A and B are shown apart, each in its own frame.
Chain A
């Protein structure tokens, strides 16, 4: 393994993050605060407890997941798309690095940024609601795995995208709806029976459910299945990236 190369890519990407630290920090704090004002205070005050949890606290895991997933995708997709766009990808392709090292560098950096934002949102949430985390280690594990798997997905989108519009297409048309319909703001037990079945086809349901379990000890689906789902999704993304580098699809002519 070319560890030095992985570290170089990681550090280079993190430098970009630190250059825009203020925006990176301010944006999630502001949007989370808005969600709490609208859903927590304005609407949430009219909603009873969900699964025995105050609604304001109930939406915290979903809010964190929403930001973490979209941030992981956008960080990783931009991270690899930008070198393609400005032509600096030549350096990666001509360096003595394999696909795994490139992925570890870019995805590692994208996941770190998303993880940082996840913790910022968590800290912001504690300003609005009382929170106790039932399984802190499991919470960190779920967060980390979600950051990694969605950063891997973002990496694929970044390689696939031929322009900036395509870069936004999948996050906007696929990921955001799946996250909103994945139980970010409600328990799937609140849905009509038929929709309870249909929603199980949404992979995000398993992630949010598992993550919520780490906070409150209750979940829509068993935690083991949530872990299996996130592990399977990570493996699928890794397999796709392996194929991309083996075939050179959209990166090497």
Chain B
């Protein structure tokens, strides 16, 4: 599938010398959902803001639908919708006027049927004549989404869309995101919530210190998540893994009192029964057995801390 967003060696340095983006390259295919994970200050918002035209890049190239964001900014920006991280809204304006304004700003003619559809989808129709300041935090966030969708973008950036949003509303938003994807909209979202990436993303990217550390299909990552560890605790510590247990590929923990067996939960046979039989046959006495599964968060933390070291 063709790339709708192509970022090549994008760099951003500020006047003080701080380098917020250190040569970011990323290709995003049309119709996919990419979740960008990263700690605070990783460069997520800088990356989004640069693509959207809020920040001027120091160097590098960004193409949106084949249009350069600098040389052909009108065509590039027309394709993009942005939901910012902060709730930035004119407080005294009515919800519906605020959404209409966004559509007009992007040069699109009035379309109240579409605006009604968007507001209804986001459960804002009943509040269309309320002033923005009268809405709850969650509703304001939905107004931001409605404004971003008002000009029918092909690429939607969601900068931490569910930060500070309750679980129910978060799931509503996931449904909206899935529906947008079904309509062919490409979505790039930044998030701190691993489960959000797991729930809705097609691919997951990890950014830290202004660099993309990993971009991978979520399914591949989930396959890694499928790896589970069985920890066989021994009543007496040993120095080495007995020869008879070598075929199982066991590791011994530092104290020598636990054998660690890594297996695939999705495999037809996990090999656990054979392992336990062989452990007993080797004359080892078990004191306990436990299992541990690595999460996307573990992978994320591992990558980020590895980058820092």
**Candidates B14, B55, B84, B105; contact of A95 at CB < 8 Å:** B105
Beta-carbon contacts of A38-73 to B below 8 Å, as 1s and 0s?
Answer: 000000000000000000000000000000000000
Chain A, interface size category, equals 20 to 34
Beta-carbon contacts of B73-100 to A below 8 Å, as 1s and 0s?
Answer: 1111110101010101111110001001
| Docked-complex contact A86 and B53, CB < 8 angstroms | no
| Docked-complex contact B107 and A2, CB < 8 angstroms | yes
| Docked-complex contact A7 and B104, CB < 8 angstroms | yes
Residues on B with beta carbons closer than 8 Å to the beta carbon of A92: 105
Question: In chain B, what residue has the closest Cβ to A12?
Answer: B101
Question: In chain B, what residue has the closest Cβ to A10?
Answer: B104
| Docked-complex contact A5 and B106, CB < 8 angstroms | yes
| Docked-complex contact A5 and B105, CB < 8 angstroms | yes
Mostly, the A contact residues are: helix
Residues on B with beta carbons closer than 8 Å to the beta carbon of A7: 104
A15 to B101, CA, bound (A): 11
Question: Is residue A237 contacting chain B, with contact meaning CB distance below 8 A?
Answer: no
A7 to B105, CA, bound (A): 8
Residues on A with beta carbons closer than 8 Å to the beta carbon of B104: 4-5, 7-8, 11
Question: Is residue A90 contacting chain B, with contact meaning CB distance below 8 A?
Answer: yes
Question: Is residue B54 contacting chain A, with contact meaning CB distance below 8 A?
Answer: yes
Residues on A with beta carbons closer than 8 Å to the beta carbon of B109: 4
Beta-carbon contacts of B53-85 to A below 8 Å, as 1s and 0s?
Answer: 111100000000000000001111110101010
A167 to chain B, nearest CB (A): 18
| Docked-complex contact A91 and B102, CB < 8 angstroms | yes
**Candidates B89, B103, B107, B147; contact of A96 at CB < 8 Å:** B107
Q: Kindly list 19 other residue pairs between chains A and B, CB separation below 8 angstroms, not including A5-B106, A8-B101.
A: A2-B107, A4-B108, A8-B105, A12-B90, A12-B93, A12-B97, A15-B93, A15-B97, A83-B90, A86-B91, A88-B89, A90-B52, A91-B147, A92-B105, A94-B82, A95-B106, A96-B77, A96-B106, A252-B54
